């Protein structure tokens, strides 16, 4: 403890993706600042950007499932900060569906046409199939647009590196859609994590379990030539949380997968398991399944003082009986899970408790992509910090892609620290 951390056993990066080593003392100082900065009042839209110079004009590239979700979130709640000005998709039905919701938006069949004709577009959301991200991202960066790119950033490590290199050279904002970094509960949890509430991590677990076919044979994410699998499309968000909390990356991954339910001709596993090992021999057990929804999506850190379970809209800390008191336990909201009692992680709990509104703060009112997109708009409109840089997004994606490779080959794959460093 206390030694300066290197790439092999500990990496911290700033939001521009610069890797730097920091010591534990600095961690604690930063964490104290972070804890003080966290504030969530029980209003549903605490951080909605109100752009001083009028709403940021946004082009949504890719109007399928994710692009549509983001566009609707902007249309519903971010009117003062963002205006959906352009919609791009080769499938006319998808753009038409959103055109009826977005006042004054223009529709385009592809991003090149949009970049050519919609000169008022300042920022773009890239929510196209993963394997198409790179070309679109490079074109948008070259055109000087602010870019929010869905994660995984790309379907190959090479494409990830190309995107992060281009983003580093850009003057405009580039944000990777690793949503945990914008999530108010995750930010609060991380501030506790960094102040040793969990203390030494002895293990990690992440799962994404749902009952869903995930589309049908023919959908691009089920095409084995371009699919990043469950580990890529979903795991990337969870792996990034682990990286962000720990400031380090795994060095090796072992995985396997199977088709257990959806025998519709697909070749992409509907159930996967993987173990990601860190240099300190701690392991993340990862499970994703489309066959059963029990437990949903969450990540858990197991430490000698406490376990911390994060489930995107909710979070809990389960303290060991012999762990030191932290001061807030007296007013903490608690929930029982069989034999365990969790302290609900509520941002700005002290203030809410003093107002007798603690329970109103339980759970997030918005989906996690709301906070991530809102942070992106804040970075564009107000020059605020980018929560996940292209470099961090690329690293999380590379880890996810290598996990998918391990799953597909039922093998162990080394995670090259030099490659991560180059992102």
> Applying CB under 8 A, which residues contact another protein?
42-45, 65, 69, 72, 75-77, 79, 93, 100-103, 212-213, 215-217, 262, 264, 364-367, 370
CA atoms of 407 and 274, how far apart (whole Å): 7
- The residue (of 300 and 374) whose beta carbon lies closer to another protein is 374
- The residue (of 270 and 405) whose beta carbon lies closer to another protein is 270
- The residue (of 78 and 388) whose beta carbon lies closer to another protein is 78
- The residue (of 33 and 265) whose beta carbon lies closer to another protein is 265
- The residue (of 43 and 385) whose beta carbon lies closer to another protein is 43
Give least dist CB 338 to another protein, A.
23
Helix-helix angle 235-246:184-194, to 10 degrees? 40
Q: Which residues of 221-232 are buried (b: 16+ CB within 10 A; e: fewer)?
A: bbeeeebbbbbb
- The residue (of 215 and 247) whose beta carbon lies closer to another protein is 215
Q: Quick check: helix, strand or coil at residue 163?
A: helix
Could you tell me which of 70, 61, 51, 73 has the C-alpha nearest to residue 111?
Answer: 61
Torsion angles phi and psi, residue 122, rounded to 5: -95, -30
- From residue 143, alpha-carbon distances to 38, 124, 167, 170, 337 in Å are 35, 11, 12, 10, 52
CA atoms of 159 and 165, how far apart (whole Å): 10
- The residue (of 41 and 170) whose beta carbon lies closer to another protein is 41
- The residue (of 99 and 202) whose beta carbon lies closer to another protein is 99
Instruction: Give yes or no for a contact between 229 and 321, defined as CB atoms under 8 angstroms apart.
Output: no
Give least dist CB 78 to another protein, A.
10
Instruction: Give yes or no for a contact between 251 and 411, defined as CB atoms under 8 angstroms apart.
Output: no
The 283-289 sheet, strands edge to edge: 334-337, 340-344, 315-319, 306-310, 297-303, 201-209, 283-289, 271-277, 252-258, 412-414
- The residue (of 195 and 213) whose beta carbon lies closer to another protein is 213
CA atoms of 82 and 72, how far apart (whole Å): 11
Could you tell me which of 122, 41, 162, 88 has the C-alpha nearest to residue 376?
Answer: 122
- From residue 295, alpha-carbon distances to 287, 298, 342, 380 in Å are 11, 8, 15, 36
Could you tell me which of 103, 98, 149 has the C-alpha nearest to residue 124?
Answer: 149
- The residue (of 38 and 41) whose beta carbon lies closer to another protein is 41
Kind and range of the H or E run holding 307 = strand 306-310
Give least dist CB 385 to another protein, A.
23
Give least dist CB 270 to another protein, A.
12
Give least dist CB 265 to another protein, A.
8
- From residue 390, alpha-carbon distances to 137, 163, 175 in Å are 11, 7, 6
Tokens at 258, concatenated: 């199977």
Torsion angles phi and psi, residue 289, rounded to 5: -150, 145
Q: What is the CA radius of gyration of the chain?
A: 21
DSSP lists the bridge partners of residue 57 as 83
Give least dist CB 291 to another protein, A.
13
- The residue (of 80 and 252) whose beta carbon lies closer to another protein is 80
């Amino acid at each position: 403890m206390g030694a300066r951390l290197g790439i092999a056993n500990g990496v911290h990066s700033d939001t521009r993706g610069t890797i730097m080593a920091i010591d534990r003392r600095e961690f604690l100082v930063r964490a104290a600042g972070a804890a003080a900065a966290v504030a969530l009042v029980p209003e549903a839209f605490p951080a909605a950007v109100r752009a001083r110079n009028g709403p940021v004009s946004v082009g949504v590239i890719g109007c399928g499932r994710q692009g549509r979700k983001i566009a609707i979130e902007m249309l519903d709640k971010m009117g003062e900060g963002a205006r959906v000005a352009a919609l791009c998709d080769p499938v006319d039905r998808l753009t038409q569906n959103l055109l009826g919701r977005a006042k004054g938006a223009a529709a385009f069949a592809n991003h090149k046409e949009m970049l050519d004709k919609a000169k008022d577009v300042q920022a773009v959301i890239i929510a196209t199939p993963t394997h198409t991200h790179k070309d679109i991202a490079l074109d948008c960066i070259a055109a000087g647009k602010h870019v929010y790119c869905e994660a995984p950033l790309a379907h190959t490590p090479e494409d990830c590196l190309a995107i992060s290199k281009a983003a580093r050279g850009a003057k405009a904002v580039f944000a990777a859609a690793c949503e945990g970094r914008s999530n108010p509960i995750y930010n609060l949890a991380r501030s506790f994590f960094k102040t040793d509430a969990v203390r030494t991590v002895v293990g990690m677990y992440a799962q994404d379990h749902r009952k869903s076919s995930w589309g049908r044979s023919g959908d691009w994410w089920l095409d084995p030539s371009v699919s990043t699998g469950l580990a890529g499309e979903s795991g990337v968000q969870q792996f990034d949380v682990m990286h962000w909390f720990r400031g380090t990356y795994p060095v090796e991954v072992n995985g396997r997968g199977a088709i257990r339910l959806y025998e519709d001709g697909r070749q992409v596993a509907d159930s996967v398991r993987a173990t990601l090992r860190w240099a300190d021999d701690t392991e993340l057990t990862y499970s994703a399944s489309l066959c059963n929804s029990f437990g949903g999506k969450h990540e858990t850190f197991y430490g000698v003082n406490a376990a911390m379970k994060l489930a995107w809209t909710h979070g809990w800390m389960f303290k060991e009986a012999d762990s030191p008191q932290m001061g807030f336990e007296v007013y903490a909201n608690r929930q029982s899970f069989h034999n365990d009692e969790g302290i609900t992680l509520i941002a700005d709990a002290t203030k809410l408790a003093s107002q007798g509104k603690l329970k109103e703060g339980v759970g997030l009112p918005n989906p996690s992509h709301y906070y991530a997109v809102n942070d992106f708009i804040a970075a564009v409109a107000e020059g605020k910090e980018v929560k996940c840089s292209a470099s961090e997004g690329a690293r999380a994606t590379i880890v996810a892609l290598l996990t998918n490779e391990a799953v597909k080959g039922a093998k162990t794959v080394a995670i090259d620290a030099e490659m991560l460093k180059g992102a």
